[in-house]
Amino acid sequence: MIVLENNGKPLGLRLYDAITEAILSGRYAAEDRLPSTRELSARLGISRNSANAAYERLEAEGYVTVKAASGTFVARGARLTGNRMRPRKEERIGFGVKRHDVIDFKSGLPDGHLFPVERWSRTVASVLKSATPSDFGYGWPEGRIELREAISAYLNRFRSTRCTAEDILVTAGTTQAVGIAGRILLSERRSVAFVEDPLTSDIKSILSHEGGRPHPLRVDTEGIDPAAIPDGPAPALVYVTPSHQYPTGSSMPIQRKLALVRYAASSGCVIIEDDYDSEFRYDGPPLPSIQGLDPERVVYIGTFSKTLSPAFRTAYMVLPPRLMKSAREAKWLLDLHNPLIDQLALAAFIREGHYARHIARMRRVYRARRGVLVSTISERAAARGISAEILGGDAGMHLVARFPGTRFTKTALSALETAGTRVYPVSAHSLIPRAWEDSLILGYGSLSEEEIRKGVEIIISFVSSQAASARPRGTKRDHSISR
Ligand SMILES: Cc1ncc(COP(=O)(O)O)c(C=O)c1O
């Protein structure tokens, strides 16, 4: 079976990669016949031209031989012996063609079709034309002043922060920013890191990697409750996503934010405020940041991954002045600084108003998609008589759908994938066992309205088949789904 990785490369190249990997690893033996390009294009949903281009390259490089009128065969001597390549994860789980037509509700992905390509190219071209020789040299770890000024002006205006350009450190994504925060705040003496539960598993891994001991604080419909923080050793930090908790989507009311600030002051810890997608808020004005309440106690992190594209790997930290020196050193040790031309282009993009306009445009698009998702879930669930609850739909590019009584086990997920939709259970992000098993994170940023409708129909059909088979007690559950 041929598995194409979903990695954004052109399809022909992915096919070429998949086949060379199979040949080198010995999974395809010499003289094995490869499927015809016609078969492949039908099975994988790629064009004949892409399949032909991949086969021509494989033949030119000696991986395959073409025998007139009988087909394409794996050539002799193309196997990598003694150093067998590790099979890809999908293959370890089981062979199968990874479907391209699957509707993927992965969260956190902006719509790549709507990236402002023309405007961005013009901005980069103009930055390059006016760049001085030193712009092509090395820079400082904290980032270009032009970008830090643009970010601080933007944040103070739209996110109610209180900062200047001097407080900003430009980083390679939130991922790196959380790592830097962990590195400068965690120590052997103070290693507890309170984290929300559920939370994205990356954050937990990053904090553990930096020597932290993540300790879960259960999230309810208003985020974490500072009043419920257990007594015990004071933490070095508390990581929160107060404007739109990831993944549950809850937001913290002002009372809890203030209680958290008081807790930080009394315990001497720092609040890490991850404000990853609050630009997209649909029902009311943006929620103010915690940083604006107490800049001395908060490390605020924002990212361009949702508003523009995760491909930029650009985010920023707003740090209390006392932490800037050590954060700057940590950034220097990691990678010196973010790429300079990208920083200058982003600064111009923000300064000239294109960033705010792009966000406003995307907010309209995502609001419409959110509307379709919410209404289709309610309508389809009502039509089939099942109960569904939606959480956290007022902001961002994902929401949580709860289907009381349904368990999204591995078997269930694979049945849903077979039926044509890929979904992600909240339980995968929870440190607390067996919590959130009835809930799915549904990302809608990169799906069309049509895909959202179709995907929801599949999910609801599955939930309803589960409910039907659960009714007569003791009978076996049916994972088949009607399309
Ligand atoms: C909670 C949270 N914060 C931040 C991010 C963004 O990470 P980055 O800026 O490294 O792309 C994500 C990505 O999905 C996320 O889930």
Q: CA-to-CA distance for 480 and 483, rounded, in angstroms?
A: 10
* Residue ranges for the chain with pLDDT beneath 50: 84, 87-98, 475-483
Please report the atom of ligand 1 found closest to the CA of residue 108: 14
Q: CA-to-CA distance for 452 and 444, rounded, in angstroms?
A: 7
The CA 387 to ligand 1 mean position distance, Å, reads 31
Taking phi first (over 0 means left), then psi (-120 to 50 degrees means alpha), and beta for anything else, what does residue 11 get? alpha
The CA 83 to ligand 1 mean position distance, Å, reads 36
Please report the atom of ligand 1 found closest to the CA of residue 313: 11
* Greatest extent of the chain over all pairs of C-alpha atoms, in Å: 80
The CA 344 to ligand 1 mean position distance, Å, reads 22
The CA 313 to ligand 1 mean position distance, Å, reads 10
The CA 447 to ligand 1 mean position distance, Å, reads 19
**H or E element that contains 117:** helix 117-130
pLDDT for 341 equals: 97
pLDDT for 470 equals: 73
**Ligand 1 residue neighbourhood (C-beta within 6 Å):** 108, 173-175, 200, 241, 246, 274, 276, 303, 305, 310, 315
pLDDT for 386 equals: 94
What are the distances in angstroms from CA 62 to CA 75, 133, 302, 391, 449?
Answer: 7, 45, 48, 54, 45
The CA 480 to ligand 1 mean position distance, Å, reads 34
Please report the atom of ligand 1 found closest to the CA of residue 306: 6
pTM for the full model? 0.79
pLDDT for 471 equals: 66
Ligand 1 pocket: which of 199, 246, 307 to mutate (most atoms within 8 A of CB): 246
**H or E element that contains 322:** helix 321-335
The CA 299 to ligand 1 mean position distance, Å, reads 15
pLDDT for 479 equals: 39
What are the distances in angstroms from CA 31 to CA 58, 64, 72, 96, 146?
Answer: 14, 9, 9, 22, 60
pLDDT for 273 equals: 98
What is the DSSP track for 254-304?
A: HHHHHHHHHHHHHHT-EEEEE-SSTT-B-SSSPPPPSTTT-TTTEEEEEES
Please report the atom of ligand 1 found closest to the CA of residue 241: 1
pLDDT for 432 equals: 81
The CA 440 to ligand 1 mean position distance, Å, reads 18
Question: 450: which residues sit within 8 A by CB, 6+ positions away?
Answer: none
Please report the atom of ligand 1 found closest to the CA of residue 246: 1
Q: CA-to-CA distance for 19 and 13, rounded, in angstroms?
A: 10
Query: Which residue, by CA, sits nearest to atom 6 of ligand 1?
Result: 174
Please report the atom of ligand 1 found closest to the CA of residue 314: 9
In sequence order, the β-bridge partners of residue 117 are none
The CA 276 to ligand 1 mean position distance, Å, reads 6
- 159, two tokens: 């996110």
Ligand 1 pocket: which of 305, 316, 317, 397 to mutate (most atoms within 8 A of CB): 305
